[in-house]
Copies of this chain bind each other. A is one copy, B any other.
């Protein structure tokens, strides 16, 4: 089966830099190596798996969960024998958060961190008024990235959607 080469935008596909490898589980370099060899974008892989691009990228970085069906499809699209993939840690439950140094030094990631830093209290104040005492779940949660273009240029639109969890009274 042949898939679309490269990205829709014409930007190069994301590959794994060497200096991050030691912070990731063993399937990360394997997945990224085949992604590079076959020149596949996360958009293409995500379409194949029926999942969001961010979720698929999270699997590649060892930060998200792959279902049995995901593994089968990854095996096909990346041309990695399924039994090889299943022997890696991809079948195990992810040990999230270790790859990331906080505060992020990378400018793109720092901007997201800065948004939390600047608007943290404002978000809390507004959510508490809209929902009462509780939190937005980061587990029962989904997110996506969209591209919008207008006459001023390109815009990134990130949506975060999480279940509201009220504090239990005890």
Bound: A113/B99 CA distance, A: 15
Once the chains bind, are A89 and B139 in contact (CB under 8 Å)?
no
**What's the nearest-Cβ distance from chain B to residue A109, in Å?**
4
Once the chains bind, are B57 and A125 in contact (CB under 8 Å)?
yes
Answer whether A131 and B143 are a contact pair too, CB < 8 Å, given A109-B121, A122-B54, A123-B108.
no
- Which B residues are in CB contact (< 8 Å) with A152? 163
Stoichiometry, copies per complex: 10
Bound: A55/B162 CA distance, A: 21
Once the chains bind, are A100 and B129 in contact (CB under 8 Å)?
no
Chain A: interface size category: 35 or more
Could you list 19 further interchain pairs (A-B, Cβ under 8 angstroms) beyond the known A15-B89, A65-B133, A114-B138? Answer: A10-B132, A12-B93, A14-B128, A53-B129, A55-B170, A57-B125, A63-B119, A63-B121, A97-B104, A97-B107, A99-B121, A102-B117, A103-B103, A112-B116, A116-B116, A131-B154, A135-B139, A139-B168, A143-B170
Can you list 7 A-B pairs with a CB-CB distance of less than 8 A?
Answer: A7-B129, A9-B132, A11-B130, A11-B132, A19-B23, A53-B129, A109-B116
A residues touching B (Cβ–Cβ < 8 Å)?
A: 7-20, 22-26, 41-43, 51-55, 57-58, 60-65, 67, 89, 91-145, 147-148, 152-170
